[in-house]
Amino acid sequence: MPPPLGHDDSCLLTPLIPATPPLPPRATARLHPLPLLVGALFATYYHLLVAPAPSYYQSLFLSLGSNDTAAAHLRALTVRPHLAGTEANALAAEHVVSTLSSLSFPTRVTPYEVLLSYPVRRSLSLSAPGRDATAFALVQDTYPGDPYAAASAEVVPTFLAYAASGSAAAEVVYANYGRTEDYAYLASRGVNVTGKVALARYGKVYRGDIVKNARDAGAAAAVIFTDTKDYTPGKAFPDGPWMPATGVQVGSTFKGVGDPTTPMWASSGGCERVSIAEAMATDDMPGIPALPVSGRDGEEILRLIGGDVAPEDWQGGEGAPVYRLGPGPAVLNLTYTGNETIATIQNVISVIEGKEEPDRYVILGNHRDAWTFGAADPNSGTAALLELAERLSKLQTKGWRPRRTIILCNWDAEEYGLIGSTEWVEENRAMLTSRTVAYLNVDVGVSGSGVDASATPQLDELLKQASKKIGRLGGGGSDYSAFVQHIGIPSVDMAIGSGYAVYHSLYDDFTWMEKYGDPMFRRHVVVASIWGLVALRLSDEEILPFNYSSYVQELENGAVDINKRVLGMPVNLSPLHKSIEQLNRAVLKVDSELQALQTWKFWSPSQNDPLRVRDLNDRLMMTERAFTEREGLSGRPWYKHMIYGPSLYNDYGAEVYPGVDDAIQTAKKANTTESWQSVQHEIHRIARVISQAALVLSGGLT
Ligand SMILES: *[C@@H]1O[C@H](CO)[C@@H](O)[C@H](O)[C@H]1NC(C)=O
Ligand SMILES: *[C@@H]1O[C@H](CO)[C@@H](O)[C@H](O)[C@H]1NC(C)=O
Ligand SMILES: *[C@@H]1O[C@H](CO)[C@@H](O)[C@H](O)[C@H]1NC(C)=O
Ligand SMILES: *[C@@H]1O[C@H](CO)[C@@H](O)[C@H](O)[C@H]1NC(C)=O
């Protein structure tokens, strides 16, 4: 989960709280058909009179929220740190299984054997000419009275998963946020990074990109620190919500998706596998030793870096030393030994079977594994999932059965590289692509205030009640990735809050959540309410609440953006414009079909023709699939979605038309005829998938 800091208070939560108590059900018991009503007529109206409308159960669902239930689950899930592959995380899985089973939802564990990474030995010492080497403790301090002090002994030592084992002792270069543009600036100032230790700060790009960029610039090792300016602008935990001086953000540096030893296929027992050595040697791995350090350690290193003063926007906050570029005279000696080992992970899968369309799936997912205690990331989401499940169980006692099947998933090893969800999607790819209506993800459920939602655009209308601002699911930040980017399933990712300072540190515990994240656990209830409401609408409404006109708008916005970037270049956008127009016509056709169905309903209120409804729903469901292409993005074949994908330079960044973006970036550097021809090629590719989507949506052949 990406850690953008800052708050988004632009969205109101109030529309989610039911304004009026739910209407009473149209109870079966009080149904007294008129004596004149003949059987056939009765049958026509029976459905309407007896079964409460989906909106009744939606209101009831909203009225059943319980902050105490959410808090109790969060406390139980976060008593111990529970890193993927550990016994503590298997126990957390048991909590999820027993909760869902006790609600009578058939629940199972789906295990996989995957490559995880643990630290074995680490050391980091700082020296400079005329100054003795001092070794950093590399420990996050507990505080007096910390109820989790004893359990914190189980927290994994600070490390970067999949960093190469090895050592480097060299002068330090300061690289700001470690982006490609930061290294370009260093080169322009004549600072040679080759063979040096790069020191970068967290905050703008995925940490795997920070290490990769350091490696690509020639660095022998990378160190990433948490700058006080960005993570501790106020009182530090436990006196405030911000990152303590010794706090360290740990995390993965793998840039790929899923188990590195089973690219493209599932890691089920006895499966084919590439060797660990081969998996560690790919370009998606960091390839150099690297360590994360605290704000305090980062400043100590920066105090000893000389050379030119870094630009204003590279500087730290008040009280920080003047940041200089280096290299040296500070020397860092970093040693790291990791253990890359095959471990067992557990996804928990729970199924609430649909009554009318059991072969259509609405999937809700959240991960369970955490770097430390995981109170915000991810178990605020897990607590919301379990609280939501308890509400669904209460709906069942009131006679509710979903029209379509609802599947609750609790993923494992997300933190290492979205592994649990990806293996499951890869294993079930053919079933999921033919049957899944939508995937609804919640990772960090609560970390602050303000609803933060991203979606594929046909779900915009549905989410508008919940969130005014809807981003796009292009980035690789969480478990929606395999669903959208690998197999093209309409998806949503939502949260309350959009970033928090103690992310991936020792301090992401129940105390932090109770004091600062969500003191009354009402935000947990709100996130469960949005999540469940969207799920209920998708599972229960006769016609899927998808609206592709937002998609057309988004595709057009993307085309305008490309147009600006290729101005004056030999690139023709008319195939793209034509395909978008084609999709627009399909949207209008669907609109008129919907109107026709409603007219039909007016004359015969019992039911629409189920086959017509099914046909329309299937087209609405399958249109997103058509945006995927078998070969995938150029050079990134796992990413099959041609419209949304992560930026090549920041795994957390979302791109519209990622293939075109990659090609434009390359062409702008190379500026050759061939490089602009590949931009044109990528434009043809996206135009082709948009035309396919238009055909699926309109249900026509050429
Ligand atoms: C950077 O340093 C390396 C090793 O010292 C050297 O091989 C390389 O040519 C240098 N690069 C530049 C641009 O000076
Ligand atoms: C770097 O640190 C390691 C571990 O403490 C030590 O064995 C090694 O000698 C040091 N290297 C240098 C060049 O100081
Ligand atoms: C690596 O992990 C495996 C599995 O937990 C363990 O058996 C092995 O001893 C570990 N190796 C090292 C060097 O710690
Ligand atoms: C739940 O909310 C009520 C107020 O509505 C509050 O009294 C109670 O303490 C909350 N529970 C938790 C666990 O915060």
pLDDT tens per residue, range 20-59: 333 333 333 333 444 444 444 444 444 455 567 888 999 8
Residue 326 and residue 174 in contact, taking contact as beta carbons nearer than 8 Å? yes
How distant, in Å, are the alpha carbons of 445, 473, 544, 549 from that of 494?
7, 10, 20, 21
Kindly list the protein residues whose Cβ atom lies closer than 6 A to any atom of ligand 2.
123, 169, 333, 335
Predicted pLDDT of residue 470: 55
Can you read off the two tokens belonging to residue 168?
A: 């480097």
Superfamily of domain 549-698: Transferrin receptor-like, dimerisation domain (1.20.930.40)
Nearest CA residue ID for atom 4, ligand 3: 341
Can you read off the two tokens belonging to residue 393?
A: 């169980």
Say how many Å lie between the CA of residue 520 and the centre of ligand 4. Answer: 5
Predicted pLDDT of residue 388: 98
Strands 221-225 and 197-201: parallel
First to last CA, the chain: 42
Instruction: Give the pLDDT mean for 554-568.
Output: 95
Instruction: Give the pLDDT mean for 658-676.
Output: 94
Please give the share of the chain, as a percent, with pLDDT higher than 70: 90
How distant, in Å, are the alpha carbons of 53, 134, 196, 219, 331 from that of 168?
66, 16, 8, 10, 10
Query: What integer best gives the mean pLDDT of the chain?
Result: 91
Predicted pLDDT of residue 401: 96
* Closest ligand 4 atom, residue 519 Cα: 14
Say how many Å lie between the CA of residue 289 and the centre of ligand 2. Answer: 14
Quick one: CA torsion of 235, 239, 245, 248, rounded to 10 degrees? Answer: -110
Predicted pLDDT of residue 34: 43
Among the options 113, 414, 624, 655, which is catalytic?
Answer: 414
Residue for token pair 């564990």: 109
Predicted pLDDT of residue 651: 78
Strands 404-411 and 331-352: antiparallel
pLDDT digits (tens, 9 = 90+) for 339-370: 999 999 999 999 999 999 999 999 999 999 99
Q: What are phi and psi of 366, to 5 degrees?
A: -155, 150
Instruction: Say whether pLDDT at 584 is over 90.
Output: yes
Nearest CA residue ID for atom 5, ligand 2: 123
CATH number of the structural domain 59-115+342-540: 3.40.630.10
Residue 373 and residue 508 in contact, taking contact as beta carbons nearer than 8 Å? yes
Say how many Å lie between the CA of residue 127 and the centre of ligand 2. Answer: 11
* Closest ligand 4 atom, residue 514 Cα: 14
* Ligand found nearest the CA of 513: 4
Most ligand 3 atoms within 8 A of CB, residue of 341, 342, 344, 345 to mutate? 341
Altogether, the residues listed in the chain come to a count of 702
Residue for token pair 């200089």: 324
Span of 18-32, 243-257, 444-458 with lowest mean pLDDT: 18-32
Nearest CA residue ID for atom 8, ligand 2: 333
Predicted pLDDT of residue 32: 41
Can you read off the two tokens belonging to residue 403?
A: 């029209």
Nearest CA residue ID for atom 5, ligand 1: 194
Q: Is 299 annotated as catalytic?
A: no
* Closest ligand 1 atom, residue 192 Cα: 1
**Rounded distance, CA 153 to CA 155, Å?**
6
Buried-state track 239-271, b at ≥16 Cβ within 10 A, e below 16: eebbbbebbbbbbbbbbbbbbbbbbeebbeeee
Say how many Å lie between the CA of residue 45 and the centre of ligand 1. Answer: 82
* Ligand found nearest the CA of 65: 4
Nearest CA residue ID for atom 10, ligand 4: 520
Predicted pLDDT of residue 655: 83
Residue 515 DSSP code: I
Instruction: Say whether pLDDT at 600 is over 70.
Output: no
Most ligand 4 atoms within 8 A of CB, residue of 67, 74, 513, 522 to mutate? 67
Predicted pLDDT of residue 471: 61
Instruction: Say whether pLDDT at 667 is over 60.
Output: yes
Say how many Å lie between the CA of residue 161 and the centre of ligand 2. Answer: 22
**Rounded distance, CA 201 to CA 314, Å?**
10
Give yes or no for residue 167 CB within 6 A of ligand 1: no
Give yes or no for residue 339 CB within 6 A of ligand 3: yes
Most ligand 4 atoms within 8 A of CB, residue of 17, 516, 521, 525 to mutate? 521
pLDDT digits (tens, 9 = 90+) for 292-343: 999 999 999 999 999 999 999 999 999 999 999 999 999 999 999 999 999 9
Residue type present at position 126: L
Instruction: Say whether pLDDT at 96 is over 80.
Output: yes
Say how many Å lie between the CA of residue 75 and the centre of ligand 4. Answer: 14
Please give the share of the chain, as a percent, with pLDDT higher than 90: 83
Q: Would you list the domain boundaries of the chain? A: 1-58, 59-115+342-540, 116-340, 549-698
Give the DSSP H or E segment for 527.
helix 522-540
Give yes or no for residue 187 CB within 6 A of ligand 1: no
Give yes or no for residue 195 CB within 6 A of ligand 1: yes
**Rounded distance, CA 236 to CA 247, Å?**
10
Residue 458 and residue 551 in contact, taking contact as beta carbons nearer than 8 Å? yes
pLDDT band at residue 107 under the 50/70/90 scheme: very high
Give the DSSP H or E segment for 652.
strand 650-656
Instruction: Give the pLDDT mean for 488-498.
Output: 92
* All residues at 6 or more sequence positions from 296 whose CB lies less than 8 Å from its CB, including other chains: 245, 246
**CA within 13 Å, CB half, 465:** 16
pLDDT digits (tens, 9 = 90+) for 171-222: 999 999 999 999 999 999 999 999 999 999 999 999 999 999 999 999 999 9
Instruction: Say whether pLDDT at 14 is over 50.
Output: no
Say how many Å lie between the CA of residue 522 and the centre of ligand 4. Answer: 8
Say how many Å lie between the CA of residue 428 and the centre of ligand 1. Answer: 49
Most ligand 2 atoms within 8 A of CB, residue of 122, 127, 165, 167 to mutate? 167
**Rounded distance, CA 75 to CA 539, Å?**
30
Tell me the CATH architecture of domain 116-340.
Answer: 3-Layer(bba) Sandwich (3.50)
* Closest ligand 3 atom, residue 339 Cα: 1
